Structure 1
Amino acid sequence: MSPALPDGEPVPADGALPAWVGRTDADAVDAEHPEASDRPFGVYLHVPFCSVRCGYCDFNTYTASELGGGADQAAYATTALREIDLAARVLRDARVPDRAVSTVFVGGGTPTMLPARDLARLLDGVRSAWGLAPGAEVTTEANPDSVTPASLAELAAAGFTRVSFGMQSAVPHVLATLERTHDPRRIPDVVRWATDAGLKVSLDLIYGTPGESVDDWRTSLESALATGVDHVSAYALVVEPGTKMAAQVRRGDVALPSEDDQATKYELADELLTAAGLGWYEVSNWARTDADRCHHNLAYWRGDDWWGIGPGAHSYVAAAPRAGAQTAAPDAGAPEASTPDEHVGVRWWNVKHPRRYAALLEAGTSPAAGRELLTPDEGALERVMLQVRLREGLDLSVLTPAGRRAVAGLVARGLLDGRAALAGRGVLTLRGRLLADAVVRDLTDE
């Protein structure tokens, strides 16, 4: 069961955005406010299909048998292209400055359950609607058993630059608990096929699966590094309510690891990945160089604009700075520019079920289910929550006075780097990464 959508206010049937996200005639000629056209713009494409629904997963995904008619895989690319067309029109009508797309990320689900030609069609739709910026990063997620050398070569020829494989583990009994279907011995092959096609490769790992030992986790890390990849993501397993695994835990069929076990595994990941030349750049992500980072995910953490295509997908567009707007005082914890309506951005989300999503678009209606208009205080809170997770850290001047007073205590407790704090940046230490949520609470008084 995927999580429920948030509560929010209704979205107009045509998907129109609030007037304050676009520029007025005065703003368009105000050379002091170039920020809106300079802000990166990304596109997320959600493909909701999986061959098997894993017991731990709470993403908005479906097997073919769950969906039935009206939302089949064969029709999906055509449906998603309708939303791309709608998105281009909505942004144009809102007078949001034109920007070529900096990053595209196709996630799921298992995007490579669609034929490579359909993924190419979706990328062509993005290219036609907005254009791709020079050097744009174009990523697709994939399961190791859902690709071939030919399909990866076809994706590269279509303009994809990167593939993120859901490796999860190299240990058969751990994969069985997660209900993953691939053979771990296939990982070196798919990495080689992708690199031969000219694609950058990331491997996604999960630690903390019930029954996984520290030695199992070490095996997974060493197996991933042995492939020579330049990017690894390592996520702690979170068992969400409503999933099959949550029911197994409740019945006592499986036991979750302790917090100490999770911390030990994170520290081991950081030790081995760092020793292999991959540096952390976000709490759960390591890359060999800046160029090897996932720039699409960085856009989320930095608060850039993006449009999410697909059932259940979320989107965000910041308010345009206004001509003559005054910069907010740092003590207010507000962003650098205000708007007449005192909102800094709008976030919205699509209906979850693929059949409803397809029906709305076929009728010429926005598939958005609801939205929220972010106030300066909400925007400042999100900025702290997201940017403190990054290696470059958070600009401490955006904190409220109470948040700034908390910094010294966090440094004393070994959670924030002292030298970085003296330079005005809030940068997590290794221990701070393990307790990132606690750091955010102290910095925001939440």
Structure 2
Amino acid sequence: MVVKSEPGQWVEDILPGGTTNSGPLSIYIHVPFCATRCGYCDFNTYTAQELGGMSSSTFVASAHEELRIARTVLGQRPVQTVFFGGGTPSLLPAGELVDLLRGIREAFGLTPDAEVTTEANPESVSRSYLDQLREGGFTRISLGFQSAVPHVLATLERTHTPDRGLRAARWARAAGFEHVSLDLIYGTPGETLADWQLSLDAVTATPVDHVSAYSLIVEQGTRLARQVRLGQVPMPDEDDVADKYLLADSFLRARGFRNYETSNWALPGGECRHNLAYWRGADWWGVGPGAHSHVNGVRFWNHKHPAAYAARLSAGRLAVQGREILSAQERRVERVLLELRLAEGLDLGVLTDSERARVPDLAERGLVRVAGGRLVVLERLLADGIIRELLD
């Protein structure tokens, strides 16, 4: 059930019965700024021109206010993971990111082993910038590398060079970051299998312990979607995209990376704990314009535009725009959908009797296996169809 809230509505109204969970919490901070808008992106981001001169300090002050109110609603809950995403968090001065982390620490406290990640674009970081983040408590960085091939980066409208992306990863390690991840995109128009191999070679030649690889999706309303519709950009076929996924999987596994989630590979201990919290259905609070939260089986989200977000918080009110209350059945199905993406799989006890009855046939066809009371998908490329067959 989706419910729109009135402007300024308090979370006590959005979370029926309040919250009694005192377990660990994850916090996501959405930084909505980008220097330019890439043609394939449909994220909630804004350029300086689109914001009409709104300063980053206004956003930071609003985020601090949201954290303050969140603390009054949730009570004392230790934060185990923090993730700054966007947008481009690295467009903020390092001091402002560190200041926001300080605000989280003061509001909730961090567990001793807390994972603190920021996304960053290679062209917007320097060695000194990364030193400041590390000294300020950041432990992990995820760099938007995307490709090691110049013509692929040009098609994606990314402004960094391959060398700058690789140098940023080395700088992060030299600054003392415990974990360094590079994001890749495959299936870009004009990208060959040889191009994709060059990107994989480049990534594994750097001191990273995590790689994310996502197929390029044509999102409606983007510049890329219009180009595809007009026949200006030929998209690769499904076989080409599948071949690139399989190449990445075999190549990374051969170098010690484990495919712990469909689109993510890590060396031992390098898994992104924040994303694991999402996939395992943990509670998280999303701070910032358009940020989504999940607490006690209730999803709620903020107003998307930074000005609307800031206006509500400047009045001491949350900027929540709507909520979705999940029924027990919806929560169960969501758990199936999320946990079957993981290499650890799903506890069989989550399935109904009729769903469990379908498992032997899926196993006989080599699509899944059962081990230790858990159901694991073996054919990752067929995961969506396997899940539909299981749940139908």
Fold-level similarity (TM above 0.5): yes
Answer yes or no: is the 8 Å Cα contact 1:348–1:369 preserved in 2.
yes
CA distance in 2, matches of 1:45, 1:358: 14
Answer yes or no: is the 8 Å Cα contact 1:21–1:317 preserved in 2.
no
Residue 338 of structure 1: aligned partner: none
Aligned with 2:365 (options 413, 426, 430): 413
User: Is the aligned partner of 1:130 residue 2:102?
Assistant: no
Answer yes or no: is the 8 Å Cα contact 1:58–1:240 preserved in 2.
yes
CA distance in 1, matches of 2:356, 2:240: 32
Residue 311 of structure 2: aligned partner: 359
Aligned with 1:72 (options 45, 55, 59): 55
* Per-residue CA distance 1:365-414 (angstroms, 9 max, x = gap): 21000001111000000000000000100011111122112212221232
Residue 141 of structure 2: aligned partner: 163
CA distance in 2, matches of 1:44, 1:166: 18
In structure 2, runs of 5+ residues without a counterpart are none
Answer yes or no: is the 8 Å Cα contact 2:180–2:207 preserved in 1.
no
Aligned with 2:10 (options 6, 10, 14): 14
- Partner of 1:55: helix, strand, or coil? coil
Letter in 1 for 2:372: A
Against the structure 1 CA distance between its residues 362 and 422, is the aligned structure 2 distance closer, same or farther, given a 3 Å change threshold?
closer
Shift of 1:7: 4.7
Residue 396 of structure 1: aligned partner: 348
* Per-residue CA distance 1:155-177 (angstroms, 9 max, x = gap): 00110001000000000111111
User: Is the aligned partner of 1:435 residue 2:382?
Assistant: yes
Aligned with 1:281 (options 227, 235, 260): 260
Residue 44 of structure 2: aligned partner: 60
Residue 248 of structure 1: aligned partner: 227
Shift of 1:99: 1.9
CA distance in 2, matches of 1:19, 1:59: 29
Aligned with 2:86 (options 98, 108, 124): 108
Percentage identity across paired residues of the two chains: 56
Answer yes or no: is the 8 Å Cα contact 2:2–2:325 preserved in 1.
no
Letter in 2 for 1:137: E
Answer yes or no: is the 8 Å Cα contact 2:58–2:310 preserved in 1.
no
* Per-residue CA distance 1:288-325 (angstroms, 9 max, x = gap): 01x2110000000000010000011000112xxxxxxx
Shift of 1:19: 4.3
CA distance in 1, matches of 2:267, 2:185: 20
CA distance in 1, matches of 2:131, 2:287: 24
Aligned with 2:65 (options 79, 82, 106): 82
CA distance in 2, matches of 1:180, 1:7: 36
Shift of 1:349: 0.4
Q: State TM-score, norm by structure 1.
A: 0.85
Shift of 1:219: 0.5
CA distance in 2, matches of 1:349, 1:18: 12
Q: State TM-score, norm by structure 2.
A: 0.96
Answer yes or no: is the 8 Å Cα contact 1:174–1:212 preserved in 2.
yes
* Per-residue CA distance 1:57-106 (angstroms, 9 max, x = gap): 0110010001114x3223221121111111111223xxxxx221000000
Letter in 2 for 1:280: N
CA distance in 1, matches of 2:306, 2:127: 30
* Per-residue CA distance 1:184-231 (angstroms, 9 max, x = gap): 111221111111111121000000011111111011011000113111
CA distance in 1, matches of 2:203, 2:28: 26
Answer yes or no: is the 8 Å Cα contact 1:399–1:443 preserved in 2.
no
Shift of 1:21: 4.3
Residue 259 of structure 1: aligned partner: 238
- Partner of 1:292: helix, strand, or coil? coil
Residue 305 of structure 1: aligned partner: 283
Say how many residue pairs are matched: 389
Residue 99 of structure 2: aligned partner: 121
CA distance in 2, matches of 1:394, 1:20: 29
CA distance in 1, matches of 2:16, 2:385: 37
CA distance in 1, matches of 2:49, 2:27: 28
Aligned with 2:328 (options 351, 376, 384): 376
Answer yes or no: is the 8 Å Cα contact 1:104–1:137 preserved in 2.
yes
Answer yes or no: is the 8 Å Cα contact 1:40–1:299 preserved in 2.
no
Letter in 1 for 2:15: P
Letter in 1 for 2:5: P
Residue 202 of structure 1: aligned partner: 181
CA distance in 1, matches of 2:310, 2:354: 48
CA distance in 1, matches of 2:153, 2:361: 41
Shift of 1:18: 2.9
- Partner of 2:85: helix, strand, or coil? strand
Letter in 2 for 1:88: R
Shift of 1:13: 1.3
CA RMSD for the aligned pairs? 1.4
- Partner of 1:203: helix, strand, or coil? strand
Letter in 2 for 1:46: H
User: Is the aligned partner of 1:386 residue 2:333?
Assistant: no
Residue 45 of structure 1: aligned partner: 29
CA distance in 2, matches of 1:399, 1:195: 43
Shift of 1:20: 3.1
